[in-house]
Amino acid sequence: MQQRYRIVVADDHSLIRQGLKSLVCKNPALQIVAEASDGVELLGLLREEVPDMVIVDITMPHLNGIEAVSAIRKQYPAVDILVLTMHANKQYFYQAIAAGAQGYLIKDDSDAELLAAIEAIRSGKTYISSQLFSEVTDEALTAFRQPGTVPYVILSEREKQVLKLVVQGCSSKEIGEILQLSPRTIDHHRANLLKKFKMKNTVDLVNHVVRNAVLFPEK
């Protein structure tokens, strides 16, 4: 008899954990062997028994999901990791991938998609929520998986001002009005930023800035 694929679930909401258990048990090849309500408890469980997969939320007390993913990847490199979160946000997605997750799902994705994600990761593939898939480029995915492929750069004060506003989602016209510069001048600064960071488009640039805390280090 083939051994079942063992999963540990980490989420600070009991209802989410119970829902996952009910769903996963529908597949006889899968088994949830333990559950945790925060990242610290999760790491404690892994010290007792190493599962095949961890399904982890991002927003948890004591030790958040991104920190937990990073610790698991370093301590238990063979464990598969699927992030299941309410954050339908590319910034969190890239942080999770950079930390070592192989999959990223949104909590309002379908039950079928969750099972598909588990099977994909189990077979050695990456799984991205259908809500984010069309917005993620292969180039950016590769860069975030290999920190250091995107270089550290030195920016002028003006470039820092422009970059901060770009990250906030401002257009060239809006940035020009704020900094009292022409849109053409702003476009020139934006082009220089792409060249310095070796990025092809603004989306990848913004994701890199957030992931590497270039301007906004996360506390």
Domains and CATH numbers, the chain: 5-136 (3.40.50.2300), 157-211 (1.10.10.10)
Give the pLDDT of residue 97. Answer: 85
pTM here is 0.67
- The pLDDT value recorded for residue 150 is 44
Q: Which residues of the chain fall short of a pLDDT of 50?
A: 147-151, 215-219
User: Which pLDDT score, from 0 to 100, does residue 196 have?
Assistant: 86
CB atoms near residue 74 (< 10 Å): 10
* pLDDT at 19 (0 to 100): 94
CB 46 within 8 A of CB 8: yes
Which pLDDT score, from 0 to 100, does residue 32 have?
96
